[in-house]
Amino acid sequence: MKMDPVSLTINMRSLSHGINKDRFELSLREIDWNLDNIEPGDGQAFIDLEVDLEDRGIICRGILDAVFATPCARCLEKVNFPITEEIYRVYSWEGNISDDLDSEPVILGGGFSILNAVREAIILSIPGKALCTPDCRGISYI
């Protein structure tokens, strides 16, 4: 299985029919995340993928393992937070009306990107109120 580490596009021709498993390192800082208040943190990021290519579409499962950063809710210092989050997305062929409302349309034989699925997993993992330290006193004016 081949995946571009920046666009997170999987080449459909690199898939065998049935289950395909692979582990990829992501180029976290080169990816256009388009996320408010969240940016790549320190360290490497990996995704373990299990991609099931079937006649009617593709079922993609994965585990994202990465570190992202968000500002401390009190002092705005960057706070790193690790993410281990499951990814699950169904893709079906464009023009082939599916009754699965949750599936994303893709072109048969082309590439398809899992970036949206990964982005949603990151949004789900963001702490509601991140603090740099539990007793952060906030921005101090000297």
Contacts with Zn ion by CB under 5 A lie at: 72, 74-75, 77, 132, 136
Is the dihedral angle over the CA atoms 40, 43, 48, 49 positive or is it negative?
positive
Q: How far is the CB of 73 from Zn ion (least distance, A)?
A: 7
C-beta closer to Zn ion: residue 41 or 62: 41
Nearer to Zn ion, 74 or 119 (CB): 74
What tokens appear for 60 in the block? 């993609």
Shortest Cβ distance from residue 29 to Zn ion (Å)?
23
Q: Is 115 or 136 the residue whose CB approaches Zn ion more closely? A: 136
